[in-house]
């Protein structure tokens, strides 16, 4: 059983289903409204836990009803929340998600407490990081906190996985130099490298630039097409299962969390882990909501 520590965001998601996306200045009817647990960090933690990892979390919520609700849900997943700070005078992070009939989504994010913790809180939870196999982070929390977590991980020979989302064009070298695996989608890969990623050839060019920054393993997710990886002189597009998407929210998070449950620290089973994670994501996109859509290990198998 792998041990995964996630440094990241915790949100309450407000979802609105619509027939099509709204245009600027336009008002349309929604056809369904619901709330669900979310946040890229929390989604990845739930995916890792449901896939069988021993999972820990470092992050923050506000001292409010939403924060208590989110923590209770993480604990129900048997996730260690001892590294989650409860911040006074801050609201728990929230995301507002619109999903159309094609399963595409539009997301607006309010950080709240997710931006109210930093390197100091990470240092307090160093033992969680040092006793992990993988540390996973995204960009919905302060980059300084993520960098500190990855530095602690590198010193302890713990592998790091960075999901550079939301996309940032100017990621600090200090963070990239302590990143072992980077997992952007096509748009995020282009934002970081300047390479327009549309196929395997362009993905390989983007991967080369990411390797130059010191990153050992590059995985670029291509949605319905699958996931491209470039590692140790070998590259390949691993196809995804062909399923009709009703909601793509948390598909990428499912991929990353699930992968961390199976991947070996020497990356010797990288393709196998990607295939497994593709299957998990194909289940996620057939369901609505972020965490409610994430599959369990027995479903993936």
The ranges assigned to domains in the chain are: 3-22+31-300
Q: What is the pLDDT of residue 11?
A: 93
Positions at the binding site: 11-13, 39-43, 140, 185, 221-226, 247, 249, 252-253, 278, 284, 287, 289, 293
Query: Per-residue pLDDT tens for 105-137?
Result: 888 889 999 999 999 999 999 999 999 999 999
Phi, psi of 3, deg, nearest 5: -110, 120
- HSE, CB side, 13 Å, CA atoms: give it for residue 253: 33
Q: How far apart are CA 201 and CA 181, in angstroms?
A: 20
Q: What is the pLDDT of residue 250?
A: 82
Phi, psi of 219, deg, nearest 5: -125, 120
Any alpha helices (H) in 77-169, and if so which ranges?
Answer: 119-124, 126-130, 143-155
Q: Supply the residues annotated as catalytic.
A: 253
Positions at the binding site for ATP: 185, 221-226, 252-253, 278
Positions at the binding site for K(+): 247, 249, 284, 287, 289, 293
SS3 273: helix
Number of H helices, E strands in the chain: 11, 13
Any alpha helices (H) in the chain, and if so which ranges?
Answer: 40-50, 65-76, 119-124, 126-130, 143-155, 173-176, 186-193, 200-212, 251-262, 270-284, 297-300
Work out whether the CA dihedral 198, 199, 200, 202 comes out positive or negative. negative
Q: What is the pLDDT of residue 225?
A: 87
pTM of the model: 0.92
Q: What is the pLDDT of residue 190?
A: 96
Query: Do residues 45 and 20 lie in contact, with contact meaning Cβ atoms separated by under 8 Å?
Result: no
The CATH class that applies to domain 3-22+31-300 reads: alpha beta
Averaged over successive runs of 10 residues, the pLDDT of the chain (301 residues) comes to: 96 91 91 89 97 98 95 97 95 91 84 94 97 97 97 98 91 96 96 95 96 96 92 94 80 96 97 96 88 92 91
């Amino acid at each position: 059983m792998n041990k995964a520590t996630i440094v990241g965001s915790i949100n309450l998601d407000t979802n609105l289903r619509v027939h099509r996306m709204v245009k600027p200045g336009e008002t349309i009817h929604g056809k369904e409204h619901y709330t669900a647990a979310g946040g890229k960090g929390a989604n990845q933690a739930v995916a890792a836990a449901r896939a069988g990892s021993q999972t820990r979390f470092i992050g923050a919520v506000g001292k409010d009803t939403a924060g208590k609700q989110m923590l209770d849900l993480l604990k129900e997943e048997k996730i260690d929340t001892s590294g989650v700070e409860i911040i006074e005078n801050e609201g728990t992070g929230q995301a507002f998600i619109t999903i159309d009939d094609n399963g595409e989504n539009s997301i607006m994010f309010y950080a709240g407490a997710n931006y109210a913790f930093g390197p100091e809180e990470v240092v307090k939870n160093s033992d969680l990081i040092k006793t992990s196999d993988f540390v996973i982070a995204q960009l919905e929390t302060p980059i300084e906190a993520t960098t500190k977590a990855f530095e602690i991980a590198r010193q302890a020979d713990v592998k790091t996985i960075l999901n550079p989302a939301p996309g940032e064009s100017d990621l600090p070298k200090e963070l990239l130099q302590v990143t072992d695996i980077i997992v952007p989608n096509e748009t995020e890969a282009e934002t970081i490298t300047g390479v327009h990623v549309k196929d395997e050839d362009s993905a390989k060019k983007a991967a080369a630039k990411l390797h130059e920054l010191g990153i050992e393993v590059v995985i670029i997710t291509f949605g319905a097409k699958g996931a491209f990886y470039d590692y140790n002189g070998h590259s390949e597009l691993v196809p995804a299962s062909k399923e009709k998407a009703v909601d793509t929210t948390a598909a990428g998070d499912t991929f990353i969390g699930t992968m961390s449950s199976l991947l070996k620290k020497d990356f010797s089973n990288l393709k196998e882990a990607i295939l497994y994670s593709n299957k998990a994501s194909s289940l996620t996109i057939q369901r609505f909501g972020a965490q409610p859509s994430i599959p369990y290990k027995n479903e993936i198998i």
